[in-house]
Amino acid sequence: MYNIHPSLLSSYHLYLTQDWMTTERIIEDIKTSNNRGESISNEAMDRGTAFHKILENPNEHYHGLFYRADDIRFSDSIKEYIDKIDPKSLKEISSGKILLTSHGKVILDGTVDNMIGITINDYKTTKQFRLIYYSDSPQWKCYLLIFNALKFIYKVFVLKDDKKSGSIYVKDYHEIPVYAYPHMEEDMTCLCEDLIQFSKGQNIEKYLMQ
């Protein structure tokens, strides 16, 4: 059985649609997608991880005038966004869904940041906001399928450094709601098939297997 994460399908979609996403990079993403090989992080990823930890457990990371996680410091002004999180929502929940492809069974599995009722909330951090990276992504379609939800909201935080205080603050904020639609499962099944066929052509199919 194949095991494919929504983030890998997003990377593959970028490979198909964006010139900057090289063959070498998508091959590396495939090789590390199921925790095989060494995943390479960068400053943006580290900041995003730290920000997620704060949103998940704000009290644990609060230090009076600022928040801090993984030695990365954020301004206490982010409290206004923390306060908007519904306390009844479920945080960091995981699940999976099996798709039947021409190559065999695929399990889509993943973890969502926050879910309440039939709505999934996903937190993203970035330095520069580009709507198309979110609205066109297969990621939200995968998660709606996995959790049988109807609505997915990207909550995008544009981060900026405050050199005087040494903290990071939210310069801008965007919400992007997207919705389940007919034939969504068929679309994701076709994309999985294409990814598997690509991996076979590159002789790296084994990295997609459970």
DSSP 144-183: HHHTT-SEEEEEEEEEEEETTTTEEEEEEEEEEEEE--TT
| Nearest residue to 6 via CA among 111, 151, 124, 102 | 111
Confidence of residue 168 (pLDDT cuts 50, 70, 90): very high
- The answer to whether residue 153 scores a pLDDT higher than 80 is yes
pLDDT of residue 37: 46
pLDDT (average), residues 45-67 = 94
Q: Which residues contact 207 (CB under 8 A, 6 or more apart)?
A: 30, 31, 33, 34, 36, 199
pLDDT (average), residues 141-150 = 98
Q: In whole numbers, what is the pLDDT of the chain averaged over residues?
A: 94
pLDDT of residue 40: 60
pLDDT of residue 42: 86
Q: Domain containing 17: what range?
A: 2-208
Please count the structural domains in the chain.
Answer: 1
pLDDT in tens, 92-132: 999 999 999 999 999 999 999 999 999 999 999 999 999 98
**Can you give the CATH number for the domain in which 28 is found?**
3.90.320
Burial code (b: 16+ CB inside 10 Å, e: under 16) for 162-184 equals eeeeebbbbeeeeebebebeeeb
- The answer to whether residue 38 scores a pLDDT higher than 90 is no
